[in-house]
Amino acid sequence: MMAAEPWIAPSHVGSSVGMASTGDFGRRIIHKRERLGLTREEVAERANMSAGFVNYLEENPDVPDTGTLIGLASALETTVEDLLGGVRNRPPDRDPTITGPVLEVLEPDECLSLVAPGGIGRIAFDSSYGPTVLPVNYKLHQGSIIFRTAYGGPMDQDLRAGVKGVEIKIGFEVDRIDQVRHEGWSVLIQGPAHHLTFDEVPEIMLTPWAGGDRELYIRIVPDQISGRRVHGL
């Protein structure tokens, strides 16, 4: 865990600040911390913040931003909703009707738009060793996913059906996750893996994720495209 940055209280917060200035939010933090038998330092370590900041939150009525709330709730083994005492103290930039993460189903066109920039994805298939998931650098080209591997390598062999005209169907997944805000999206594309001939290789810049001599291009033509987006608190 990365060390938390030093935190300096605002100039109006001094050593004389005590429970008299503590709001309901601070009292709930204290109650839940003491119920778990934790010190401020232990809560700070769990939440990846400074002990001084935990002290400030306990002794002042201010409600922090959503990312801080999520980390603090996790450290105190509770929920953001519980820390806020319902919806009364919810930060003003959030919809008060939303009480937890929301799952949104994505349309195929939006899924393709999300994966269009390229980058690192994962392919899933049945290999000679059993179910396998491997990272690959990929490009989206004319609606298909393209990645590179080595001729004669394990992936080349495992993705060949051994029957002329028959191609093995595999899965391809890309996701982008914001762990702090508990938000992100995931796209799954399923389709046959086609080994491109020299004449079929498109003129695109594509470096294999593992490096080395990997001149075999494989194309996944989507049969099914699905995706989900999670909106955090």
- For 194, the domain range is 103-231
The per-residue pLDDT for 18 is 35
In this structure, what CATH number is given to the domain that contains residue 39? Answer: 1.10.260.40
Number of domains in the chain: 2
The per-residue pLDDT for 136 is 93
Q: Are residues 120 and 90 in the same domain?
A: no
pTM, to two decimals: 0.57
Q: Are residues 156 and 218 in the same domain?
A: yes
Which of 31, 65, 96 is the last residue in one of the domains? Answer: 96
Q: Are residues 82 and 183 in the same domain?
A: no
Q: Are residues 88 and 172 in the same domain?
A: no
Q: Are residues 32 and 85 in the same domain?
A: yes
Tens place of pLDDT for every residue, the chain, 233 residues? Answer: 444 444 444 433 333 333 333 467 888 899 889 989 999 999 999 988 898 889 888 888 777 888 888 889 889 988 887 787 754 444 444 444 445 667 889 999 999 999 998 999 999 999 988 999 999 999 999 999 999 998 988 889 999 988 888 999 999 999 988 766 678 899 999 999 999 998 989 888 888 877 778 889 999 999 999 999 987 65
Take residue 75 and report the two structure tokens written for it. 């450290």
Which of 53, 72, 96 is the last residue in one of the domains? Answer: 96
**Residues 206, 146 contacting (CB under 8 angstroms):** yes
